[in-house]
Chain A
């Protein structure tokens, strides 16, 4: 789900790799088949996560079999029709890179549907091996699968396994080696189109036969034309003489239900494959999933359960994360700063300031946020791996409709409570671009841990014991603004259109520690790389402007800029110091407190709260809190917004939206406060 700036050479473009003799093996499979578990098991930490070139689709690649072979984890897809970039990446990779073995991961507990992708793969003429995963889950659901019968029917090796328990994997590796060595030659039995469309398929094949570009197989291209595949249709339209294309087009127009004939043909083939290989002796058995779902997806109890789970995750994050955060600060960051200050005592003042305040301060903010994020990521990965996340999306679907979104958008937004950066990246689970754009735009309205930390510092200074209620009010306010903005964006830009909600509800299963561990590791690494560099760079930049021209923040360029902005600030009751603090919150939100500390010449632990209370009215404080939760997100979030929308227009619109909303809400709060006598 995350992106790292680790550059991976584009396999799709460069056929030639450094090791020419290195065998290439590809893993394919539908979502929820345990493909990632198998990939993690085979490669361990010997893997790289990045993006497919030019796409916001995760690219995972590693080495296995003692480092001698390359393993590429192709994106999880239900089919190979060009509905989204994932399908195109998968089929192009298999056709162009010609992996030595294509391992298709299927679930024994979900065989009928998971063989659909295998049915599609047989048309690509790739050396296919089927990894029959989740044998344990199948047994638990009362399903028996006979692998050797299936193998005989399919014509390709079928290896039963439980990837989560590493069983069956050594056999699979042996089979992969045998296929590479040519000892086993898979000859898959291929499905045919439903009989009433065979003639039509033949006509099309005859018309396009001489024009199909390399490396696309004729039969596969014809099937994709019947299925109405956008990319293949465009390709053939360009390759064909106009008159021939017109004929093809007319045939396709006459049979606009052809895609169903193709799909039905595949399912008929699957039924034949399974008739002898799969048994379900206890048909009426109520599985674990059914029992749990009676509660988890109930319109009322489902929401209660979701609220309890989210509450627990949030409480856990702070109960465990905050002490570690404080400990890191006390034992690493502060001593490091002191050490640097004393070591550099002979150095010029600006060098010392830049390193101690700029560099170490910046590293500190990245490092101290990590514990909270790690716990949050772990909880998220756990819920994902168990199979709960689809249920959360389901119960939130009705609510998300208000914004023209559907349940899947809820998951990234939830992740936003930890940090907005993974939230924006997490929008990749949403299939339609309009829904994805709206979610990316509103994700920064979810109050992240950094903003909550600022609120936790400022609110008690003014509201004492009532600070808790003020904080809850601010969270509620952000969520209301989030819903309003989402609704508005959807109305303005997408005319209230809503994307289709079709989502598999996977079977619940026992979580796998390795899968969760690697997910946390990669997300954390990605955060440190992405957020770390951005925060650090901006921290240094802000420091430089706060130092120049003569080493005093109160007369610095930054202060001059703050004074220039003071007229705008006055709408919200802000003086130049508060405006400067807001500007410095751009690299990292918690800088607000640090900057105020410098401006008032007192550190956060000593008298700053008192100084604030003495200098600002309650109305101003309320406005400051409101602006803080709604203000433009940190630089890292903006950077991933640009990356994920792939558009400066949307990125700038997001900034403008949050700037406008935060100042408007701040000004309104201030004036209401004045009217209520809080001046």
Chain B
């Protein structure tokens, strides 16, 4: 995927790696739900599981959250 420090989406981060959220490209209803589960710009998330297809699992603010691949693809992050 894109090199480090280049903005990418959450789907491009490998398991065990961390990323910082930059912005959200989804609709506001989804973004509101993401925010209530801890996803806000600037927060660091760690990818627990990310195979090439299917949903991801990320740890955000100490909580494990499953995210559909489509939803994760709309979260812009910076690796590290």
A residues apposed to B, CB below 8 Å: 78-79, 81, 83, 110-113, 116, 227-228, 259-260, 263-264, 267, 289-290, 293, 297, 299, 390, 393-394, 397-398, 406-407, 431, 498, 500-507
Contacts A397-B66, A502-B30 known; 14 new A-B pairs at CB < 8 A = A79-B33, A113-B38, A113-B62, A116-B36, A293-B64, A397-B55, A398-B54, A406-B68, A501-B66, A502-B34, A505-B57, A505-B63, A505-B64, A505-B65
Tell me if B62 and A501 are in contact (CB < 8 A): no
Tell me if A503 and B40 are in contact (CB < 8 A): no
Docked complex Cα distance between A264 and B53 (Å): 31
Q: Which residue of A lies closest to B70 (CB)?
A: A498
Tell me if A259 and B68 are in contact (CB < 8 A): no
Docked complex Cα distance between A227 and B34 (Å): 13
**Interface residue from A83, A267, A293, A297 paired with B32 (Cβ < 8 Å):** A83
**1/0 per position for B24-58, CB-CB distance to A under 8 A?**
10101111111111101111000011010111010
Q: A260-B31, A397-B54 are in contact. Are A502 and B65 (CB under 8 A)?
A: yes
Q: Which residue of B lies closest to A109 (CB)?
A: B62
Q: A260-B31, A293-B48 are in contact. Are A501 and B67 (CB under 8 A)?
A: yes
The 10 closest A-B pairs by CB, nearest first: A501-B68, A79-B36, A263-B35, A78-B36, A505-B64, A112-B61, A398-B54, A503-B66, A500-B30, A397-B55
**Interface residue from A81, A289, A398 paired with B64 (Cβ < 8 Å):** A289
Docked complex Cα distance between A506 and B70 (Å): 22
**Interface residue from B30, B65, B70 paired with A504 (Cβ < 8 Å):** B65
Tell me if B57 and A502 are in contact (CB < 8 A): no
B57 surroundings in chain A (CB, below 8 A):
293, 297, 394, 505
Q: Which residue of A lies closest to B35 (CB)?
A: A263
B55 surroundings in chain A (CB, below 8 A):
394, 397-398, 407, 501
Docked complex Cα distance between A228 and B24 (Å): 15
What are 6 A-B contacts defined by CB distance under 8 Å?
A110-B63, A267-B61, A293-B49, A390-B66, A502-B33, A504-B66
Docked complex Cα distance between A228 and B60 (Å): 23
B residues apposed to A, CB below 8 Å: 24, 26, 28-38, 40-43, 48-49, 51, 53-55, 57, 60-68, 70-71
A431 surroundings in chain B (CB, below 8 A):
33
**Interface residue from A83, A116, A264, A299 paired with B51 (Cβ < 8 Å):** A299
A507 surroundings in chain B (CB, below 8 A):
64
Docked complex Cα distance between A394 and B43 (Å): 24
Tell me if B66 and A407 are in contact (CB < 8 A): yes
Tell me if B33 and A78 are in contact (CB < 8 A): yes
Q: Which residue of A lies closest to B42 (CB)?
A: A264
Tell me if B64 and A397 are in contact (CB < 8 A): no
Docked complex Cα distance between A557 and B54 (Å): 55
Docked complex Cα distance between A419 and B30 (Å): 33
**What is the distance, in angstroms, from B68's C-beta to the closest C-beta of chain A?**
3
Docked complex Cα distance between A110 and B34 (Å): 16
A81 surroundings in chain B (CB, below 8 A):
32, 36
**What is the distance, in angstroms, from A332's C-beta to the closest C-beta of chain B?**
46
**Interface residue from B40, B64, B70 paired with A267 (Cβ < 8 Å):** B40
Tell me if B67 and A260 are in contact (CB < 8 A): no
Tell me if A259 and B65 are in contact (CB < 8 A): no
B38 surroundings in chain A (CB, below 8 A):
112-113, 116, 267
**What is the distance, in angstroms, from A281's C-beta to the closest C-beta of chain B?**
15
**What is the distance, in angstroms, from A296's C-beta to the closest C-beta of chain B?**
11
